[in-house]
Structure 1
């Protein structure tokens, strides 16, 4: 087996589609053994099946990241199958169509916080427990450029959850660096996914307007984000921790 993630046991949440599925495929291509956790059983199993068809090693575990017992079981299933947990990508998340802050409902707020923030916290909680027991590991969290800068898109609640992930990542990195656990976050700009398609169909913006949010004027593909996750979970980034890396074609630079 060859590749910068060769033999590593990795848990990826929210890997039934989009960036998560692309990340699972990229990791497997680099030699990782991948556990896919998602509430979408059909999509999750399809991702795992595709990896195995391509010669990789993968398993699917149904897990709702807002439920601690589910996350704990997903970590346990990964360890049962692969013997350890070398790296985790906490990608599971939800978005919204865009509402002014005073129009955001409590239900919308609670859902975003439960999945995007509590879900990352629960994932880290059980991943770190395992990594402490085995002597180290690497965690990469999905944040967003919206957690780094303000954007006039009616996403104050979404931005709050992603800003929380950025802050939690930074603090966790300091807490566990001496236990050989690295924690980083990835902050994408606008990526071509089904969620973007839904936002366009919902009238949030046109594809041209979405691309124009980037100074480059070009949208990104899920694989672009996946490659950054792979770098952060490999030994190539062994001295990088506590960072929130923007993949946004300069969107946060202005």
Structure 2
């Protein structure tokens, strides 16, 4: 198993891509710690995976002290941290740039960009002093790779994650910490649903809206994350793996 004996932290681990990644890592031998703000959803995810392979910790990645405590708790409970997947994110403010509320803008950047920075800051601080590790940040194909009307805050935050990932990779590869990103397209999560849209409606829309004719399964995105975090990608750092089946080709 690729991650036998390793401790993995997943922010935003209660649902969607985070939850699928937690399942995949656990199947490959990792002990997974799911972090987030919804304790009920986190506990449900841990139960689904199995308490012997999973744990959860309350964390708000927009808060510096909470992000630090998150990593400290993982290390204290499990003896180390070898893999981190920074997945917590929100769609947030939607609308033309001139109409976006400044507070809504701040919230999107706080979760999607500052949250990744704060999480990485403390993950790296532990890893570089304990033999290294791997980090995968979840970005988006909206941002650096493509844009959509009315999603300026989201696009800007995710483009920032891409640049932050590459810079951090340069800063810390000599410390034994490999840092990469994945940029999924529309996936089978609530974020890909339009207001009032059902999953069936989305499936019909995507038949013509996506080159593949469908959204990605969360397990397909998780597979890319696992590869980047694994020893199979041992010479890959500073990479942004787009998983959108040619949507932004």
Per the normalisation by structure 1, the TM-score is 0.92
Residues 59-74 of structure 1 mapped to structure 2, 5 A cutoff = 59-74=55-70
Cα distance, 1:104 vs. partner? 1.1
User: Partner of 1:28 in structure 2?
Assistant: 26
Residue-by-residue CA offset, 1:206-245 (whole Å, 9 max, x unaligned): 5133454421222111111111111111101101100010
- The aligned residue for residue 19 of structure 1 is 17
Residue 142 of structure 2 aligns to a residue whose secondary structure is helix
Unaligned runs of 5+ in 2: none
Equivalent residue, structure 2, for 1:131: 127
SS in 2 for 1:64: coil
Separation in structure 2 between the aligned mates of residue 246 and residue 212 of structure 1, nearest angstrom:
20
- 1:161-176 correspondence to structure 2 within 5 Å: 161-176=157-172
Q: How does 1:1-150 map to 2 (within 5 A)?
A: 3-52=1-50, 56-96=52-92, 98-150=94-146
**Residue of structure 1 aligned with 2:196, choices 189, 194, 201:** 201
**Partner SS, residue 91 of structure 2:** coil
Q: Mean alpha-carbon deviation: is it higher for 147-156 or for 223-232? A: 147-156
CA contact (8 A) 2:170 2:238 kept: yes
Deviation at 1:195, TM superposition (A): 2.3
Gaps in structure 1 of 5+ consecutive residues: none
CA distance in 2, matches of 1:228, 1:28: 15
4+ residue runs of structure 1 moved beyond 3 angstroms?
208-213
User: Alpha-carbon deviation of 1:70?
Assistant: 1.1
Aligned residues: 246
Q: Deviations over 1:128-185 (max 9, x none)?
A: 0001110211000010001223323311110000000000000110111111110000
Match for residue 183 of structure 2 among 156, 181, 187: 187
Larger mean CA deviation between 8-17 and 100-109 belongs to: 100-109
Aligned residue for 2:129, secondary structure, equals: helix
| Secondary structure, aligned partner of 2:213 | coil
Tell me the secondary structure at the aligned position of residue 47 of structure 1: helix
Of the structure 1 ranges 16-25 and 85-94, higher mean CA displacement relative to structure 2 is found in: 16-25
**Structure 2 length-normalised TM:** 0.94
**Residues of 2 paired with 1:200 and 1:224: CA distance?**
25
- Contact residue 140 and residue 185 of structure 1 kept, 8 A: yes
